[in-house]
Amino acid sequence: MKVVITGGMGFIGARLGRALCDQGHLTDVSGQETSIDELLLFDSVDVPGLFNEREGNIQVKRVVGDISNWDTVRSLIDRDDIAVFHLASVVSGGGEKDFDLAMRVNLDGGRHVLEALRARESQPRLVFASSIAVFGGSRMPDVVGDHVKQTPQTTYGITKTMCELMINDYTRKGYIDGRSARLPTVIIRPGKPNQAASSFVSGVFREPLNGEDFELPVSVDTVMPLLGYRSIVDNIIRLHELEKNQLKDDRAVSLPSHTVSVQDMIDALNTAAGHRSLGQITVKPDPFIEQICAGWPQDCEHSLATSLGFSKEENLEEVVSYYIEDYL
């Protein structure tokens, strides 16, 4: 079977691609375990050197293009024996600064993926990377979850909500077998900060571990749900592998997470870093970031995910430790 990962040359996309190459197989549309023979990584920019042209028995292709271009997306989804992991997205802060770009990439791009899958004869499986940013608003409860009304307060969250609802309907109509993973903030991203409003959450670990000072744009009392990147990838694959009837009319699942304060993050960093010399962290509030974070949920229950076998790390120290192992 063929696997397409949109956003496949990003951090999570590339790690997902590597995990699938190592695994070598997925459940196909008939429910049978099938070998992967082609992996296509699609993104808006190329990142040479991520993969060999062949990884074992899998042919790996990198394609650069615009997901809001219908012809481009249709050319990616060209087989009935196919699975798609749709990760491509304009992130939260970027979406607030450029409404048109967020709508074009997140909403139009998402619909192109759905329509390309609809044109196949096989009801292909689709896993969509959504976000707990689908929740928000003045009536948002203290703890959100899979039975809470979606009232997002960012353009990013709006587009994720729209795609979730379209996936529900395309699945109801029998066009696809769709599943949406509501991701908490992902930690710890290596490299440079991106335009996500939550980018500081990785930065509070990454920069001090690199010996660099870090300016924290929010209060240390700020609370948010987090999950490490290894668990994110494992859970995305697990979501794909679920039998169709394990999810009902709402195809979205809020992934397990750790609800912690920024101070908890700093404490975990200091514990896991051992004898490493860390950069200094100073608080320098950024009203733009604080406003976005204030509209996000602070806690998320994940009883459905737990009942389906999804998992998280024991604690934040474990996340820091495997970031050190993987990247430092």
**Positive/negative CA dihedral, 140, 146, 147, 151:** positive
Indicate if 156 belongs to the active site.
yes
The number of beta carbons lying within 10 Å of the beta carbon of residue 234 is: 16
What Å distances lie between residue 253 and 134, 148, 168, 239, CA to CA?
12, 12, 12, 9
- How far, CA to CA in Å, does 101 sit from each of 12, 44, 74, 104? 21, 13, 20, 5
258: which strand partners?
226
Closest CA to 186 of 12, 6, 7: 12
Name the active-site residue from 156, 170, 175, 229.
156
- HEC sequence for the chain: CEEEEECCCCHHHHHHHHHHHHHCEEECCCCCEEECCEEEEEECCCCCCCCCCEECCEEEEEEECCCCCHHHHHHHCCCCCEEEEECCCCCHHHHHHCHHHHHHHHHHHHHHHHHHHHCCCCCCEEEEEEEHHHCCCCCCCCCECCCCCCCCCCHHHHHHHHHHHHHHHHHHCCCCEEEEEEECEEECCCCCCCCCCCHHHHHHHHHHHCCCCEEECCCCCCEEEEEEHHHHHHHHHHHHHCCHHHCCCCCEEECCCEEEEHHHHHHHHHHHCCCCCCCCEEECCCHHHHHHHHCCCCCECCHHHHHCCCCCCCCHHHHHHHHHHHHC
Q: Which residues are catalytic?
A: 156
